Amino acid sequence: EIVMTQSPATLSVSPGERATLSCRASQTVTTNLAWYQQKPGQAPRLLIYGASTRATGIPARFSGSGSGTEFTLTISSLQSEDFAVYYCQQYNDWPPTFGQGTKVEI
């Protein structure tokens, strides 16, 4: 199965700053890559699919890029509600697999 590796494990940023999260696949997943946000006690929320397409209702400050094995989620100007754990997931190959997550904290 494809192994997804996220970095860093924890990202410390201030409100208003830019955050850049990385996700690497052990083999190519083309652009079959999704990003999720999870806050404590809440269900994960789909942010990005197809590596760069924002899901319905997701603010424009969230953007995804990359293809093949290297992907990036960028939050252009962090808001207080953006502090959470972010997961990437590949769906190019079965079974679908997730990264271990990046915690974005103040």
Which residues bind to another protein, rule: CB under 8 A?
32, 34, 36, 41-46, 49, 55, 87, 89, 91, 94-101
Residue 23 · residue 31 · CB < 8 Å: no
Q: How far is the CB of 78 from another protein (least distance, A)?
A: 23
Q: How far is the CB of 74 from another protein (least distance, A)?
A: 19
Q: How far is the CB of 59 from another protein (least distance, A)?
A: 17
C-beta of 2 vs 13, nearer to another protein: 2
Q: Which long-range contacts (CB under 8 A, 24 or more apart) does 37-40 make?
A: 37/82, 37/84, 37/85, 37/86, 38/84, 38/85, 38/86, 38/87, 38/101, 39/84, 39/85
Q: How far is the CB of 26 from another protein (least distance, A)?
A: 14
Distance CA 82, CA 15 (A): 9
C-beta of 18 vs 39, nearer to another protein: 39
C-beta of 16 vs 95, nearer to another protein: 95
